[in-house]
A and B are shown apart, each in its own frame.
Chain A
């Protein structure tokens, strides 16, 4: 077990570092080979090489924030997906199950519909995501006669669908010339427009969710037991679930606010990590985060380099992620049930 763990972590972290270096080196803006090295030397070791200002802007203001955003969003979505799959004891669960993406989408679409600035649109997305989950949680918690897990999932599906129909209505009413294209592009998800200010805004909230979840990672194992068992072992199950939902929602809402809706990461990455390292949460969560960050970074790098125009990352995550996952599933001995 130990050997396998170390191996998996080494592989994942190595891949992440390589990908990050690679992501800095490629892009549609042509950089002379020495420029990147010179810049790295300047920033990391305080050297004083001359670097063209535009090159510096490209690396520090454009590629850097975008890479950071990809790592943050990928880690956040993967962590949220892992937490929810454990909490709901269901392999088909993604971070959207409680409606955070639908709520964030509605918030953003409303912002676009009322022709607001980019900042207001982001804040709308964040607030919308939190509000949606708050409503779902309130509904789920007040339905006393049913299994609390089932109540949450059903409330999430119902409210998510309701929000989806409101979004469809707004798309219908939107000005087809100016608002509709903006709405469509937001819903497709993209890291193209990430500015350093966006990260400064989203990172605290994402971390506010990631850090508690990371600290609680061993305790999360107990949510895989039945409620009675967990309580008998001394776990306040209701409170723990609430904490997990809060953390996952903060992370996901912050991520969606800056990137739009990028699917599949929260669903597939936890599975891939589980196939590599097993379900024990204190090992699973960090690996999930690393894999999620690496995966989204890879996808986003492709998204911004293969053509002059952006390819929506949600399309790429599905195209790349699904065959990769199937391969991993086929070569691995472990499955969800084994």
Chain B
């Protein structure tokens, strides 16, 4: 038969690219480590909440489980089959609860962590990689690096299209917000205070991950003179700072602050410029320190510069949740999210 002579070379040509595609790839992660990632990644273990959010957003079917089981009020924001994913514990960062055996039993193709990339964390990643033989990718969790991290993760997972869409959206959102903020002259940027905890006295120092959203929006963090993480301020110090806007994450504090004579000495409290950050299914303001905060930019932006941030927050939220959580919130859910007392300015 005349065609058969070419059958083998044609077959070789056809299958060659596939053969190349099956080979594991070497990736350089954000901590400067070379990690051998398998060609096909179907099962991904996310080592912390920021990683879970990104993996889920890119391709929820590949996420093996949540680091902490979703609570009853968080679950309805996800499609049921994803809300029910098992709890696998977290490997690094605050409060490690994962058992390495659980990790092995889950048989992931890839372990991903998104967050700090300092040498301590890099060596932790190396250790787990050595112990388990699983490829461990460490990616940058900082705000500005989210689009890049999304693209790298998409490349590792083999879902470049989906990750690309998300990264583009984030880039546009971040650029849009940055452009709006750039229009505000320095004098018009308000002094802001972030008060956490039941007394509202735990605050975020300059450059901390908790103040990132606030500081990205150009607000002057009253506690920003000292850099670091979280710290407790005295009531008197807060009075001395006299912030113009107060953000908080604690509903008890929010409810009590209007009636407390000490807090009422601050003009912002008297004029009701105290705002409670939405937190379902993941916080909008500081924790977990992942892509979940991007919607928080629009919310906090609206509070700080209402003329510049005229977006319909409900529509924006719907869009964001559809992209990242794969489910549009229903009207009642949006009401619960944005209608909780203290979330939106009156």
Contacts and interface: CB of A to CB of B under 8 A. Distances in A.
Contacts of B236: 27-29, 58, 62-63, 304
A192 B234 contact: yes
B249 interface: yes
Contacts of A117: 198, 252, 255-256
Interface stretch (B38-46, B93-101, B158-166, B305-313): B93-101
Contacts of A310: 231-234
B287 A192 contact: no
Contacts of A63: 236
A177 B287 contact: yes
B118 interface: no
Contact of B94 (A61, A116, A177, A304): A177
Contact of B252 (A53, A118, A176, A193): A118
Interface residues of A, number: 38
Q: Please indicate which of the listed interface residues A29, A63, A117, A309 has the most CB atoms of chain B within 10 Å of its own CB.
A: A309
A176 B265 CA distance: 32
B130 interface: no
A22 interface: no
Interface of B: 68, 93-95, 97, 196-199, 201-203, 205, 223, 225-226, 230-237, 239-240, 249, 252-253, 255-256, 260-262, 264-265, 283, 286-288
Contacts of A27: 236
A195 B232 CA distance: 16
Contact of B235 (A172, A193, A308): A193
B239 A58 contact: yes
Contacts of B199: 118, 192-193
A176 B203 CA distance: 16
Contact of B230 (A62, A181, A196, A307): A181
Given A192-B234, A308-B223, A182 B197 contact: yes
B240 to A, nearest CB: 4
Contacts of B68: 175
Instruction: Tell me which of B205, B234, B261, B262 has the highest count of chain A C-beta atoms within 10 A of its own C-beta.
Output: B234
A172 B97 contact: yes
A180 interface: yes
Most chain B beta-carbon neighbours within 10 Å: one of A53, A63, A172, A308: A308
A181 B239 contact: no
A203 B68 CA distance: 41
